[in-house]
Chains A and B, each alone.
Chain A
Amino acid sequence: MTPEARTLLTQDEVTAAQNQIGKLVHQLRRVILGKEAMIDEVVAALLARGHVLLEGLPGLGKTELVKALSRLLSLEFRRIQFTPDLLPTDITGSHILQEREGRKEFTFHPGPVFTNLLLADEINRASPKTQAALLEAMQERRVTTFGETRPLPDPFFVLATQNPIELEGTYPLPEAQLDRFMVKVDIIGVDQPVLEEILMTRVHGEAPHLEPVLNLSELHNLFRATDAVHLPRAVANFISRLVAATHPRTKSAPEAVSNFVKYGSSPRGAIAIGAAARGLALLRGKPNVGFDEVRRVAVAGLAHRLVLDYSAKLEGWDGHRVIHALLDAVPDVERGLPQTMEAAKG
């Protein structure tokens, strides 16, 4: 077999990218203490130009993380606090009748969606109609109003937060909208040493002062570098098998999927995992994706794309648990060792 010559990031390019990403991550870790894994996932998704859904209890730093990102990236930042009475035009913008030079005409006033970094705070509190206003913006990165389509700035990220409790008066995100988030990051509480550190460093809870570490040009370079991260065919095969196994009617579906999953992930899930794994590989200073990066981002990239059966809730299964079971059941390589061999331990 003759290896196909492909363009691979040089070690210098990888090192330069890793240094820039390292600065970003370092500053984020100064703001959000004890959440290294979550920060890695968010940064990996951003490098892959994906939208992020943050879910966690109040006070765990969701909004703070997004605000810190906006400051560090020197991008235009807008925040929308989603409420039940929020209208789609409050997001996308609307046409206002204005008088100009003696004539009255409709003038488009862009909404907060026309920004680089959009924080959709407590997104599940708005009505489905309003939530749907984000659909086109997130997927197509453009907005159509009154038959006129306007592109959104590049880059465009949506970082949404939602609260898993106090569900009265909320509207859970429909599957179509959930599918548009590259990853859904669950933010869990911090342990005691981290709490102690927070107390020692935050007098009134303010985040430390941050200076931008990446400008727009550098960010675009990072995007290109992320796209150039090599995805080996065997790893792509692993991703495809993983996503295919989320469907309960496939032969390769594990028992957990067959029992508790109603609908599996869309192909968008596989694309999201591949892209997020590329971002994570670059964050780790690698010119290629490996099986370990895929396993690392699989939960965040797939769990929110599963439609679980009602029995899953009865049995205490959620998307995370199902994906963990899936990762245990699907081997890295399609054709493993012969039955007369076993991997050396230790």
Chain B
Amino acid sequence: MTNLPASIRPLLQRLQRRLTVGLFLEIWPRWATGSLLVAGTLALLARIFFASAASILPWLWIAPLLALLPALILCARHAYRPAEIAALADSLGGGHGTLLTIFETGAAHPFTMSQFRMPRLRPWRKLWAVLAAAGFLVVALLVPQRIPAADGRTVLANDVVADLKTAVEELKSEELLTPEEEKNLAEEIERIRKDALNRMDSSSWEAADALREKMAAGLSQKEDALNWAAESLAHYAAAAQAGIPPTSAQSEELADAIAKLAQNGLLSDAPSDLQKLLGGKDALAGGNVKLPKDPEALRRLAASLAQHLGDRSARFGNIRRLPREPGRFNPSEFGEFNYEQGPEGNGPPGSGGINRGRGDAELTWGDESLPFDRFKSAALPPGSVRSPDDWSPVTVLPGAPQEAPELSGASSGMQFSGTAGQTAWRRTLSPRHYSAVKRYFDNSKSR
């Protein structure tokens, strides 16, 4: 194109650029459409059969970009040659052959392309197919991921230990479990799950409940240790504040309480200065706690310990405040944590005494409809019995019926009686009305 006569060079170069764009828009949409359809099919297959591939499915959107490579190669291979461009330009300019002649002979022929108009691009002729294919990919990606259904035993086994795992997570988040306890609990949970896989019966649920009770007991023990330490520290501090030197009994009690805290892992994340005042990590781990003799150190110990205990206590409070939702760990369900003795000496399961087993739990009401809403109004036929066919026996009485003279007007369904100067009336209702009224006033099924 560079050594063409100057009279036609700019025109042919412009046409060449536009033809290149047009050719690309003709070739690339085919490849892009094909790649998007393949990607959509892959996405569908992944949605249905390969759940593990779900995370990489968004990468399928690069398919049209990948299609650029073959499209560009084809564009380069099928690019318009200069002779073809000249022929096209001549044909578009009226087909006079002048441009072709200049192109072929290089003659300095006067040339005006007044009739020539640059062809227009119509990309949507091909791009709509790309949009449709992209829509297919969108739909394929929006298809919900099909998770292969586990067998019923696995589902039940997972269900048995689901609450336990949640409970462990809750305790872990509040840092109320030592790593060793966490590891033991995980092993226990896994053992229960495997047992449930092998044999699913009530023992699996009982084992799970037992572990939950064990966790609650451990938590209660830790809280006891915390309360003891707080109480001992209060006594110790009160004596110190009053200017009375703490007695050796008070000191020993505080040391024991701190040792108890350490045994329960409640000092594992204590501040370093507190651990240092108590003799270091090794002493705490061995339960060999020695209080400092220095009054100033003692004062700092008391302050630091009080702060630590307060923090720990807040975490127990968080556990208590957990909403009572299914799957959330609620220690108050267990008597050892929130023990309430019943009036007859009975208590929650596991606390001794007489109880009604696991079902001895108070029913809770949540989103149930109001009693009035339970009765839905419905139009009934007239209450009086007007037709012999419109009745059904309410009860069958023995013996022959006795006709009461005052009931002879029962055809209207009305019955009158006079007692002590009063007049009362009763109305004989049809069985459907009778059952409707009975259902409305029946309290036996509410609550």
Q: In B46-83, which residues have CB < 8 Å from any A CB?
A: 80-83
Complex formed: what's the CA distance from A293 to B122 in Å? 30
Of the candidates A235, A338, A344, the one whose C-beta lies within 8 Å of that of B97 is: A235
**Cβ of A314 < 8 Å from any Cβ of B?**
no
Q: How far is the CB of A252 from chain B (nearest CB, A)?
A: 17
User: Which residue of chain A lies nearest to B108 when distances are taken between CB atoms in the complex?
Assistant: A8
Q: In B20-39, which residues have CB < 8 Å from any A CB?
A: 22-23, 25-26
Chain A window 287-309, contacts with chain B (Cβ cutoff 8 Å), 1 for yes, 0 for no: 11111110100000000000000
Cβ–Cβ < 8 Å partners of B84 in chain A? 333-335
Which one of A54-62, A155-163, A194-202, A226-234 is at the interface?
A226-234
Complex formed: what's the CA distance from A233 to B3 in Å? 19
Chain B window 414-427, contacts with chain A (Cβ cutoff 8 Å), 1 for yes, 0 for no: 00000000000000
**Do B104 and A341 touch across chains, with their CB atoms under 8 A apart?**
no
Chain B window 107-140, contacts with chain A (Cβ cutoff 8 Å), 1 for yes, 0 for no: 1011000000111111101100000000000000
Cβ–Cβ < 8 Å partners of B97 in chain A? 230, 232, 235, 281, 286, 288-293
**Cβ of B95 < 8 Å from any Cβ of A?**
yes
Q: In A110-145, which residues have CB < 8 Å from any B CB?
A: none
**Cβ of A204 < 8 Å from any Cβ of B?**
no
**Do B88 and A344 touch across chains, with their CB atoms under 8 A apart?**
no
Cβ–Cβ < 8 Å partners of A334 in chain B? 84, 87
Known: A5-B106, A333-B87. A288 touches B126 (CB 8 A): no
Chain A window 190-233, contacts with chain B (Cβ cutoff 8 Å), 1 for yes, 0 for no: 00000000000000000000000000000000000000001011
Cβ–Cβ < 8 Å partners of B105 in chain A? 3-6, 8, 230
User: Which residue of chain B lies nearest to A288 when distances are taken between CB atoms in the complex?
Assistant: B101
Of the candidates A233, A235, A332, A341, the one whose C-beta lies within 8 Å of that of B121 is: A341
**Do B101 and A287 touch across chains, with their CB atoms under 8 A apart?**
yes
Q: In A21-54, which residues have CB < 8 Å from any B CB?
A: none
Known: A288-B100, A291-B97, A335-B84. A343 touches B106 (CB 8 A): no
**Cβ of B92 < 8 Å from any Cβ of A?**
yes
**Do A344 and B118 touch across chains, with their CB atoms under 8 A apart?**
yes
**Cβ of B86 < 8 Å from any Cβ of A?**
yes
**Cβ of B291 < 8 Å from any Cβ of A?**
no
The count of A-to-B residue pairs whose CB atoms sit within 8 angstroms is 132
**Cβ of B304 < 8 Å from any Cβ of A?**
no
**Do B101 and A337 touch across chains, with their CB atoms under 8 A apart?**
no
User: Which residue of chain B lies nearest to A1 when distances are taken between CB atoms in the complex?
Assistant: B82
**Cβ of B96 < 8 Å from any Cβ of A?**
yes
Chain A window 322-346, contacts with chain B (Cβ cutoff 8 Å), 1 for yes, 0 for no: 0000000001111111111111101
What does DSSP make chain A's interface, helix, strand, loop or mixed? loop
**Cβ of B103 < 8 Å from any Cβ of A?**
yes
**Do A341 and B100 touch across chains, with their CB atoms under 8 A apart?**
no
Cβ–Cβ < 8 Å partners of B104 in chain A? 3-4, 6, 230, 232-233
Q: How far is the CB of B99 from chain A (nearest CB, A)?
A: 9
**Do A341 and B106 touch across chains, with their CB atoms under 8 A apart?**
no
Q: How far is the CB of A294 from chain B (nearest CB, A)?
A: 8
**Complex A-B: 20 CB contacts under 8 Å:** A2-B3, A3-B104, A6-B107, A8-B107, A230-B101, A232-B87, A232-B101, A232-B104, A233-B83, A233-B104, A290-B97, A332-B91, A333-B91, A338-B22, A339-B126, A340-B122, A340-B123, A341-B18, A343-B92, A343-B117
Q: A5-B106, A337-B19, A343-B117 are in contact. List 17 more A-B contacts (CB 8 A).
A: A2-B3, A3-B3, A8-B107, A234-B83, A281-B97, A290-B94, A290-B98, A291-B95, A291-B96, A292-B95, A292-B96, A332-B95, A340-B126, A341-B22, A342-B119, A342-B120, A343-B120
